[in-house]
Chains A and B, each alone.
Chain A
Amino acid sequence: MIEIEHLTRRYGPRAVVDDVSLTVQQGEIVALVGTSGSGKTTLLRMINRLIEPSSGRVRIGGTDTATLPPHQLRRRIGYAIQGHGLFPHRSVAQNIATVPRLLGWDRARIEARVDELLDLFQLPPAEFRNRRPQELSGGQQQRVGVARALAARPELLLMDEPFGALDPVIRAQAQQDLRRIQRELGTTLLLVTHDMTEAMFLAHRIAVMDHGRLLQCAPAREILTRPASPLVQALAGETARPFHLLSLSQVADLAQPGHAEGPPITPDTSLRDALAQCLWSGRDALPVKGGGVVTLAALRRAAAGAVPR
């Protein structure tokens, strides 16, 4: 659990982060969103003390982070950034082994951990272990960057626009991988992003920031249906709201008994994709694989904010 209490960072008279309090539960994903200059990155970087807070406190698992030497604190916290920041003079394995080496793990343990992570990120160890970062594709580099951040089994992972440099197709894959891996490991994850769709897809809760203040921290559905201020509403994207809402649920949540014509869709398809299929194929209902249908009428209700099941 991370407890952020009245955290403030001032540069001269200007508060870049202004009295922010936020608690993140063990295993939870929280996305920090906001315009550039809203203070989201500064807030993230104060948690591992890359920026020292002017006032306030951060506790991780009950320990006040100010009581630890910064480098020791950072070894306990995973950190992945945009453009990955892999060490170009080190192999993939050496990059991933960075923090375990700093912590003095023995060689056998490090090697086993590196291979385990490469497997987890679907990079066959025999093929990738000894490659240099610049020999990898953008998506592979990004995966190695996240693997490196997770190497010493941190209880907390901080990510600053980790997928910002990836093209849309690879980014979607990376987001799915991250969600899968986070579920497997149960790591607490704090993620800075300016991409609302990414935040909705990944996060249990979304923290909206503006001018250094935390405006609202709530699950995506609440941000969309009950925004705390016009600014939150604007950031959540007023025109895209129905589609965001649909993307939060899956066909299985909305399926009802019945019969429909045409090719079926799988129960784990998002409602947003289901709507797209209805519109594109001109059908009022789609059969769901394994039985039942999802109707255009039900999709419309869900898009207007009705909570499916």
Chain B
Amino acid sequence: MTGRVALAAAALLLAAFLISPDSFAPLLEPLTRRGAPAIYTQTSLWSLTVSHLALVAGAVAASAVIAVGLGVLVTRDSGRDFLPLARMVTAVGQTLPPVAVLALAVPVLGFGDWPTLLALFLYGLLPIFENTLAGLTTLPPQVVEAARGMGMTPAQRLWRVELPLALPVILSGVRLSAVIALSTAAIGSTVAAHTLGEVIIAGLLSSNTAFVVQGGAVIATLALLIDAGFRAAEAAARSRAGG
């Protein structure tokens, strides 16, 4: 209950800050030096937030489609041989530092949103893939056996039984990826992606701590809210799946 109140307060505070950042200037002024501006105004914080979220949503959606697809593939009889390969691909995606991906991607994809999208996409594959795998391989064996024995086709078993029962675990993988992507997306602004990282970088370049703090605080609050949203969705899926 107190958790919910705190979350609601955080959401309200975030909305208030994005709608009217100037009203928060007195709060941030102590962090500035020599009369530097307390609030970042180069680009509207509202539009940076929207594009930051859009970038994360796009990357996580792509990770989810590919990682869940891979997870389904390697748990089928016909796809079992691909498990080591899929494991390797997703693990490499996770171990390559996003900043290295950006550096490598810029010559090919140019500056802007695309290198960031790629880096976040690769970075997000592993948690979703591993959770999909865990969800699909730990289903109650009698339930799977019953689905076969009832005469469901492999596709019917997947859509009507396996995925609905694995959904809570898959969602928790998506949650992890989304939260990681939300904070990682900030570095995209080093290659001119339109994200809240822009505020932080501007703060670092001009030694303006107020900018760094406001960029960081907005990202952190968004991460908290998204985490809570996914947890609620997981709980709903879990109760629907009979857990």
A7 at the interface (CB under 8 A from B): no
Residues of B within 8 A of A72 (CB): 151
**Contact (Cβ within 8 A) B149 A48:** yes
Q: How far is the CA of A133 from the CA of B164 in the complex (A)?
A: 16
> Residues of A contacting B150 with CB < 8 Å?
74-75, 79, 98-99, 102, 148
Contacting A85 at CB < 8 Å: which of B143, B156, B164, B243?
B143
Instruction: Name the residue in A70, A79, A132 with the highest tally of chain B Cβ atoms < 10 Å from its Cβ.
Output: A79
Chain A: residues with Cβ within 8 Å of the partner, total of: 27
Which of B143, B148, B153, B156 is within 8 Å of A88, CB to CB? B143
Task: Give every chain A residue within 8 A of B143 (Cβ-Cβ).
Answer: 85-88
Q: Closest approach, in angstroms, between the C-beta of A74 and any C-beta of chain B?
A: 4
Residue of B nearest to A83 (CB): B142
Asked whether, in the complex, the Cβ of A89 is within 8 Å of the Cβ of B145, the reply is no
What 0/1 pattern do residues 225 to 243 of B give for CB contact below 8 A with A? 0000000000000001111
* In the complex, A176 has a CB within 8 A of chain B: no
Which A residues between 157 and 215 are near B, CB-CB below 8 angstroms?
A: none
Q: Report the minimum CB–CB distance from B143 to chain A (whole Å).
A: 5
0/1 interface trace, chain A 63-91, chain B, CB 8 Å (1 if under): 00000001111111001011111111100
Interface residues as binary, B46-78 with A (CB distance below 8 Å gives 1, 0 otherwise): 000000000000000000000000000000000
A79 and B149 contact, CB distance less than 8 A: yes
Number of interface residues of B (CB under 8 A): 20
Complex Cα–Cα for A76 and B150 (A):
9
**Is A55 on the interface with B (CB-CB < 8 A)?**
no
Main secondary structure of the interface of B (DSSP, over half): helix
Residues in chain B near residue A81, CB distance under 8 A: 142, 145-146, 149
A276 to B150, CA, bound (A): 43
Whether A71 lies near B147 (C-beta < 8 A) is no
Q: Distance (Å) between the CB of B23 and the closest chain A CB?
A: 48
Chain A residues whose CB sits within 8 angstroms of the CB of B224 once the complex forms: none
Contact B152–A82 (Cβ < 8 Å): no
| Chain B residues near A145 (CB-CB < 8 A) | 146
* In the complex, chain B residues 134-179 whose Cβ is within 8 Å of any chain A Cβ: 140, 142-143, 145-153, 156, 161, 164-165
A50 close to B (CB within 8 Å): yes
Pair B151/A102 contact, Cβ less than 8 Å: yes
Once the chains are docked, how many angstroms separate the CA of A133 from the CA of B146? Answer: 14
Most buried by A among B146, B148, B164, B241: B146
A25 at the interface (CB under 8 A from B): no
For B242, the chain A residues whose CB sits under 8 A away are 87-89, 132-134
What are the interface flags for A124-135 relative to B under an 8 Å C-beta threshold, 1 for contact and 0 otherwise?
000000001110
Q: What 0/1 pattern do residues 106 to 134 of A give for CB contact below 8 A with B? A: 00000000000000000000000000111
In the assembled complex, how far is the CB of residue A286 from the closest CB belonging to chain B, in whole angstroms? 45
- CB pair A102 B149 closer than 8 Å: no
Most buried by A among B142, B150, B153, B240: B150
Contact of B151 among A89, A99, A134 (CB under 8 A): A99
Nearest first, the 6 closest Cβ-Cβ pairs linking A and B are A88-B242, A85-B146, A75-B151, A74-B151, A85-B142, A79-B149
